[in-house]
Amino acid sequence: MTGILYIWIVLLFGIMPDCRSYMTLSSIESCYDPTQTPETYYTITGISVPQCGIMCAGDERCMSISIKRDGNTVTCYHNSGRRLLSTGCDNQYSHFNGYHSSCHYHGVFLNDTYGCRCYGGYIGAWCERLMEDCSEGASTDHYKDFTESDVFHIHPSNAPRAFKVVCTMDGWSPGWTWFFKRRFDSPYVNFTRPWEDYKHGFGDFSNSGNFWTGLDTMYHVTNNRPQRLKAYISFKEDGKWVLRTYAYKNFQVSSETYGYNFSFLSGVPPGPNHEKAMDGLSLFLGAKFSTYDVDNDNDSSDNCANIHQSGWWFTTCDGYNPTGQPQPPSVQYKTSDPTQMSWPNTLNYSAARVNMFLIAD
Ligand SMILES: [Ca+2]
């Protein structure tokens, strides 16, 4: 314990050690609020940062410290787990992780392979960087045993920061970056949201939740390397559930400067085991994104996002509404209600679930 205490002091005061050590510290800046996690077991205000570290080093439960600065006053948090990089940082908190292995960012050293097992979206021999997108993560050994979708961080190399996304990491659809999900049988999430929410993302980022990943994330992912967009839409057709799919090659979302309008090369047929959906995106090609507070549609007298109570690349106010209110199985057909979730279908069925994914081609 004396050795660990010494290393903490050395690193926090910047004195060069005169012996080798196996423990290192790394600082990450994030807006992660340590009071919101169960792993913070001790909090004290009014001490120095080195004192906080020294106290941690003397406590076997302590794996990391978090610091909050309010003027000259430091609040010190002792955590029983290590901190993951968070996104949307405002630099309010600093986190210092203590490592006992050479794997970075929560990675676990595996004695049998002498390699690291990474988590949370980190990849590489030492978990030294985040994956570019979910497809890259799924192509590594780190996530091959995953059986379901989960929250990960990605960092496309063209982006200034990391993003939180849901990746499908299962045998059926390994490595799909989940663009958005809205379904009648997941807990309700309000999609009547302003521009800033559609820009940054919202909802319940989980395997079972409804969420929108964020247009900024989509811009960076789709401009980083070619992506195929897959749309999965569930209809109740004559009392039977039918899952229909449609795919778009080289799907690209532009930046906010261009209103996030999108392009793709061509529609591609679905896989052999899927029912084909109708093309629901060509109708919106070239249109800017609209929300109730940013009206970019082609209707000069009406606000289509407000009429549809959602956000989309609306052109007219009487068209389809893929982020609208998902319809329960009892409502089989699309009605004149513009807030209904809808997608083109030969028999005008209403849509009960819409899922969209990106897959690196
Ligand atoms: Ca308008």
Supply the pTM of this predicted model.
0.73
d(CA 150, CA 7): 36
The CATH number of the structural domain formed by 175-360 is 3.90.215.10
Q: How much distance in Å is there from the Cα of 203 to the middle of ligand 1?
A: 26
Q: Which residue has the tokens 């992912």?
A: 221
Closest CA to 232 of 217, 251, 216, 248: 248
23-39, pLDDT tens digit by residue? 344 444 444 555 555 57
Rounded to an integer, what is the distance from CA 332 to the centroid of its chain?
32
Q: What percent of the chain has pLDDT over 70?
A: 83
Q: Rounded to the nearest whole angstrom, what is the distance from the C-alpha of residue 63 to the centroid of ligand 1? A: 54
Token pair in block for residue 239: 């009392």
Q: Which CATH code is given to the segment(s) 2-100? A: 3.50.4
**What are the residue ranges spanned by the domains of the chain?**
2-100, 175-360
Expressed in angstroms and rounded, the spacing between residue 195 Cα and the centre of ligand 1 is 15
**Do 2-100 and 175-360 show the same overall fold?**
no
- The rounded Å distance from CA 7 to ligand 1 centre is 62
pLDDT digits (tens, 9 = 90+) for 158-203: 999 999 999 999 877 789 999 999 999 999 999 999 999 999 999 9
Q: What is the Å distance from ligand 1's center to 222 Cα?
A: 27
CA of 50 to the centre of ligand 1 (A): 57
